[in-house]
Chain A
């Protein structure tokens, strides 16, 4: 499938051995198909930055927090994500996948940054599962790795 750049969103992610997006293995997994999270009471702790805060019931605590995406052009991707040492691969997905998605929606929160966020009040495990469920929708968009998945 050829993605239209205007409707495309990018995310730099680690991959599995089949060049599919790596799935998170813990609440702090970075650069995977999922969000990092911690309890909102730990917001002001040093270190351990996350994508989403949760409440004591494990529910996503703040509206419109979610998984980061880059809006085209590709030059909007921060340089530190492109450093070879990171071994991240550029994946692309079409925005239109989320127009009718029951659980997730895509919001822009800047000229270069968008997010996949819960469409309704949601438990963190469900949120991460719905993100994992999008795995087949992501395409490798990295020139070096394009033909490997």
Chain B
């Protein structure tokens, strides 16, 4: 049976990576996968979830990784994810 991930699944995965992983940059790969799988709605969800995790407070490394992802999702670095405008409605 095909496994369709829900918003909660992604939320848990992003939080687990940013809060507990030794390599918080793995969250970048996950967000990229979300855009590849679900297009604009995947990008908007990734942006919302990483933004939420950032606002809740992260360790220094995880905060830096979260900012890298948010910049990539919004076009504020040289390696954008997807259309890199997921902060716009």
| B positions within 8 Å CB-CB of A | 23, 25-26, 28, 51, 54-55, 64-65, 67-68, 70-72, 74-79, 84-85, 87-88
Contacts and interface: CB of A to CB of B under 8 A. Distances in A.
17 contacts: A46-B25, A47-B28, A47-B68, A49-B78, A50-B78, A51-B78, A62-B78, A78-B87, A79-B87, A80-B51, A80-B74, A83-B54, A110-B85, A112-B85, A112-B88, A113-B75, A113-B85
B75 A68 contact: yes
Nearest to B70: A80
Contacts of A109: 75
Contacts of B23: 46
Determine the main DSSP class of B at the interface with A.
helix
A112 B87 CA distance: 10
Contact of B79 (A30, A43, A68, A79): A43
A50 B64 CA distance: 12
B77 A78 contact: no
Given A53-B78, A109-B75, A113-B75, A46 B28 contact: yes
Nearest to B76: A68
Contacts of A30: 67
A78 B25 contact: no
Contacts of A131: none
Given A49-B72, A110-B85, A83 B78 contact: no
A68 B78 CA distance: 9
A50 B79 CA distance: 8
Nearest to A113: B75
Given A79-B51, A80-B54, A49 B79 contact: yes
Interface string A35-48: 01000000100111
B50 to A, nearest CB: 8
